[in-house]
């Protein structure tokens, strides 16, 4: 079974988030079946899905292949080489929860893992929340502006 580069990126991010987020959160490297969302031991749905969106872009042009194994068997040398490349694969994270408080908690954890621990700190983490209709918009950039406005009022 072959896995595309884009799906491998989604699987890798899902594995990393599984290790980083609280253990009662299920992380999937695919879009979940809405009729079969996993329920945690407390009977709540707390799921993050990581899906690839859009086309991946290749950043390198002429990156050399890497030899990962070489063995001399008599007069013949056998080599295993793999082509290397650098790609950007856009990913989408969806949060599925039974309760709004769980959703907000997961967004805070994602903010901590994806934004605040990034060096240098990222300023492009944007979250739009939908629940049949748009409920809110979260962004570190807009929160900083709100803090500045409060200081001006004093």
Alpha-carbon distances, residue 63 vs 6, 33, 34, 56, 68 (angstroms): 19, 39, 42, 17, 15
Rounded to the nearest integer, the mean pLDDT of the chain is: 75
Say what the pLDDT of residue 25 is. Answer: 92
Chain segment 26-55, per-residue pLDDT in tens: 999 888 876 788 888 888 888 999 988 888
Is pLDDT at 154 greater than 50 in this prediction? no
* Residues 87, 58 contacting (CB under 8 angstroms): yes
CA angle 61, 67, 68 (to 5 degrees): 125
Is pLDDT at 71 greater than 70 in this prediction? no
Residue length of the chain: 154
* Residues 6, 90 contacting (CB under 8 angstroms): no
pLDDT: which is higher, 1 or 111: 111
| Stretch among 17-31, 51-65, 74-88 having the lowest mean pLDDT | 74-88
pTM: 0.64
pLDDT: which is higher, 152 or 136: 136
Whether omega for the bond prior to residue 51 falls within 30 degrees of 0, making it cis, is no
% of the chain beyond a pLDDT of 90: 13
Overall average pLDDT of the 9-28 stretch: 91
């Amino acid at each position: 079974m072959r896995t595309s580069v884009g799906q491998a990126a989604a699987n890798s991010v899902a594995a990393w988030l599984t290790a980083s987020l609280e253990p009662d959160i299920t992380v999937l490297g695919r879009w979940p079946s809405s009729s079969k969302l996993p329920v945690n031991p407390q009977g709540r749905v707390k799921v993050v899905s990581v899906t690839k969106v859009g086309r991946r872009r290749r950043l390198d042009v002429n990156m050399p292949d890497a030899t990962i194994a070489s063995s001399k068997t008599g007069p013949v040398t056998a080599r295993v080489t793999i082509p290397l490349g650098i790609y950007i694969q856009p990913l989408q994270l969806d949060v599925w929860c039974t309760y709004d408080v769980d959703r907000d908690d997961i967004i805070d954890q994602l903010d901590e893992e994806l934004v605040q621990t990034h060096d240098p700190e990222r300023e492009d983490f944007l979250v739009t929340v939908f629940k049949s209709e748009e409920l809110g918009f979260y962004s570190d950039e807009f929160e900083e502006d709100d803090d500045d406005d409060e200081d001006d009022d004093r």
